[in-house]
Structure 1
Amino acid sequence: MATSSPLLHIQFLLLCSALHFTVLAASGTADGSEEWGYVQVRPKAHMFWWLYRSAQRTDAGPTPWPTVLWLQGGPGSSGVAMGNFEEVGPLDANLKPRKSTWLQKADLLFVDNPVGTGFSFVEDESLLVKSDVAAATDLTTLLKKLYNGNEAWQKSPLFIVAESYGGKFAATVGLAIHKAIKAGELKLKFGGVALGDSWISPEDYVDISRLDGKSAEESNKIAEEIKQQIANGQYNDSAYTWGRLEDFISSKSNDVDFYNFLLDSASDPLSLATTTEVGRKQVMKAYTTYLSSKASADVDISSLMNGPIRNKLKIIPRNVSWGEQSDLVFNYLSNDFMKPRIKEVDELLSLEVNVTVYNGQVDLICATKGTEAWIQKLKWEGLKSFNNIDRTPLYCSSEEAGLTRGFLKSYKNLHFYWILGAGHFDDRTRKNQP
């Protein structure tokens, strides 16, 4: 476990000494379209959640209306903020209606996971989780308290959709949910998991770059060092070697944007916030910085969450600030950062849980080629048949006939989407479009 800096530790102690931990369980809008609240998943560990009900919801017809549980990456990045206001929620970061909100197709449940992320908090630093499995246990506890005894929620199948490091959380909590349901401890319909540009197998994401032959040779040497460290269980060492690899690729590629390899970092204000960090000494913190950057030139997500959103919610404890403990969350999970979760995906498939994988083709940090590589490491009995079928081209609308937007390959309960023109998060040239 990486230790937090002295400054962070002092800030944490000062925060805890001033806190008044009177936590209201839940609240919501008068029309019932939104609910939010806290669940104490362990003594003195509080997880924040926010549910939106779709105006298009209907329970008529053969297919029940679904609920999507969105899990953000990082670890330590806030789904309540990033996934909600920057990606799929009903409002964008300017609090304007989003045309492409997923609320058109499902109810949306955002959670600040793990505890310490976003509005979630712990009253003692030692209560922060140190593994993906521990995070899954907390999240399953939250779902038990939300779903058990609530028949209305139980009617809607739950799909876990994750991005980046959130994919590791999705794989581990997917297993925890399945086991809890089977044991009669959790009452919900589990629809499956979707892993978007997910950090499932870090070693498979180290062989890609924008380099010439000479630089590629040196890059490959560093990549092999990372793979050997992972094989030896040296996960902390491999994380910092990965940071050295990123530095090398940046220096030899005129600062490629790791979240869209068609861009330079200078072309993307979000990526620029990462690459200009002094020395990029700690790549994990740099990644957190990226995810916590401004949504646009005129919107500061931290000011949004600690201002208008905090005022709307009304139940955030007086001295809890959004994102206050997020760096600590990352530090405590540092030993799990480079651990693969292929085994967990394999187990989900063997249990006949639906697993959807989707990847933006111009993502570099979790590149599609790396995702294809870890899928080939699955021991799932259906893999050979999956490999032998052809992909199906995908189109967005009849107006774009002939313009391919992606590909799909699907066999039994494994579904793989190749999304053309998209990076780690989205293609910002088409952001917020239908």
Structure 2
Amino acid sequence: MFLGLLTMGAHPTRQCSLLQLQPLRLATCILFLLLLLPPCSVSSSVITHLPGFHGRLPFYLETGYVTVDEETGTELFYYFVESERSPSTDPVILWLTGGPLCSGFTALVFEVGPINFVLAPYNGSLPQLVNNKYSWTKIASILFLDTPVGSGFSYTRDPKGYNVGDISSSLQVVTFLKKWFNDHPSYLSNHFYVGGSSYAGKVIPLIAQYISEGIEQRQQPLINLKGYMVGSPLTDPKYDRNSIIPYAHGVGIISDQLYEAAVANCKGDYFNPTNEICANVLNAIDNLMSELDNGDILLDKCAGRLIPKPINGVSSRALLEEYSRLSEPPARPTVNCFSYRFYLLNIWMNDKATRDALKIKKGTVGVWTRCNTEVFPYARDVPSTIQYHLNLTTRGYRALVFCGDHDLMVPFLGTQAWIRSLNFTIIDDWRAWHLDGQAAGFTVMYDNNLTFATLKGSGHAPISYKPKQGFAMGQRWLDRKPL
């Protein structure tokens, strides 16, 4: 390309000829031409080996950056795993992580991706990786994305670029998808879905809505959107938050007396107390719930935070810098804790060999943390996404909404309630769905292609707790079969 530009000429009155220019003038001319070229919007690398994984990766892994804001130099980092079954016909899924500001790699290694960590006591060496036999990449190609900017390895050259929120980050994801599909046109004909859990459930309907509007306006490239999936999704505090206390009562965390006092004095609003009695009751309930792991009430309550909160005005950024200078790993949860896998991930991601293998741009991200929720600003500027769910499903897009039945953070009671508020007709009534001859959860299907399901015995980000059941659910739904 450069030879063609040089012989064609980069100046209206003068050609840069390779035959005529001296070496110094040639170098100057090439530099001048490079400055005239637009910045590269998509850069990618094929990854064949990962530290801690024995041998060559048995799947196609690609990592890269996509520029989503030229003015601030914002680049989103992605991991793409091609379907291990039939890449030309299997669906493509953009799978997002919650937080907000948690890395997409969390989903790759703990939810629907092809590798898991070996949960062994840390001995000072690099944590080991193994195949995930319940990876959704056996049935679909999956894009894992570090979004919003500031999560994972996504970064911006201008600090102002970190000032994003629900709306702006969702639009950046749409920009990412347009550029990625332009760079990977062979996947444009595949069915496309957006999926994810927790706070990702707040932005997934926005992203799907923006894509659908682009399709109606015939914007190129035409993404073949078919639907979306949300697990334990934050949707509307009226339902999400106010379901916590009824759920806590139903599973025996709080007494009849406390629950009745909350109902009588809080008037259905359990997060904005308007009188002293309500406030006192809620405080007593909070104390009881603090005894549990809110992500899964059956698990031991363990240390989950690897980076300390700000103390006496010390900023989180300063604490992160301090953490990067530690010669020993921080205090860790015990190996039996669910959060232990996050501890191993932090060690693995901050190893130089890992960054080199993933082709991370040097100098862009200091200490990698799974969730940067205390480091960068984030505007939660969409209070409710119920209308987006209504718009999408009534336009013909398929929706799978699933929950863990032991999740105290976003209880399934609230999710059921906002789904019922859509006033859709039930076409397949509440029933168990099965795996290996046992109930794997319960499900109900509404008109407008909306399916709700629970994963029995699962917590928040349900698939990470029940991967086998989660894979069966996903495969059946993607194949358009009843759960």
TM-score using structure 1 length: 0.75
Confirm or deny that 1:197 pairs with 2:232: yes
Corresponding position of 1:8: none
Corresponding position of 1:91: 115
Residue number among 343, 346, 361 corresponding to 2:405 in the alignment = 361
SS in structure 2 opposite 1:373? helix
What residue ranges of structure 1 are gaps of 5+ in the alignment?
1-20, 230-242, 286-291
SS in structure 2 opposite 1:355? strand
Superposition CA RMSD, Å? 3.6
Rg comparison, structure with higher value: 2
Corresponding position of 1:128: 162
Corresponding position of 1:327: 373
Measure, in 2, the Cα distance between the counterparts of 1:300 and 1:416: 33
What residue ranges of structure 2 are gaps of 5+ in the alignment?
1-38, 49-56, 118-127, 317-331, 472-483
SS in structure 1 opposite 2:402? strand
Corresponding position of 1:111: 145
Corresponding position of 2:17: none
**Distance change (3 Å), C-alpha of 1:430 and 1:324:** closer
Q: How does 1:144-159 map to 2 (within 5 A)?
A: 144-148=178-182, 150-159=184-193
**Distance change (3 Å), C-alpha of 1:108 and 1:326:** same
Corresponding position of 2:430: 391
| Kept in 2: contact 1:119–1:323 (CA 8 A) | no
Confirm or deny that 1:413 pairs with 2:431: no
Confirm or deny that 1:27 pairs with 2:37: no
Moved segments of 4+, more than 6 Å = 21-24, 243-247, 275-281
Q: How does 1:210-289 map to 2 (within 5 A)?
A: 210-216=253-259, 224=269, 226=271, 249-253=285-289, 255-263=291-299, 267-269=300-302, 272-273=303-304
Instruction: Return the offset for 1:88.
Output: 1.7
SS in structure 2 opposite 1:35? strand
Instruction: Return the offset for 1:250.
Output: 4.2
Corresponding position of 1:341: 385
Q: Give the residue type in structure 2 aligned to 1:178.
A: S
Bigger helix fraction: 1
Corresponding position of 2:101: 76
Instruction: Return the offset for 1:279.
Output: 11
How many residue pairs align between the two structures? 371
Instruction: Return the offset for 1:331.
Output: 3.2
Corresponding position of 2:15: none
Instruction: Return the offset for 1:92.
Output: 0.9
Measure, in 1, the Cα distance between the counterparts of 2:90 and 2:43: 26
Measure, in 2, the Cα distance between the counterparts of 1:41 and 1:313: 20
CA deviation map 1:307-340 (0-9, x unaligned): 243121123233423349923676322x437x12
SS in structure 1 opposite 2:208? helix
**Distance change (3 Å), C-alpha of 1:279 and 1:198:** same
Q: Percent identity, aligned pairs only?
A: 24
Corresponding position of 1:16: none
| Kept in 1: contact 2:148–2:164 (CA 8 A) | no
| Kept in 2: contact 1:421–1:427 (CA 8 A) | no
Measure, in 1, the Cα distance between the counterparts of 2:280 and 2:309: 14
Instruction: Return the offset for 1:277.
Output: 7.2
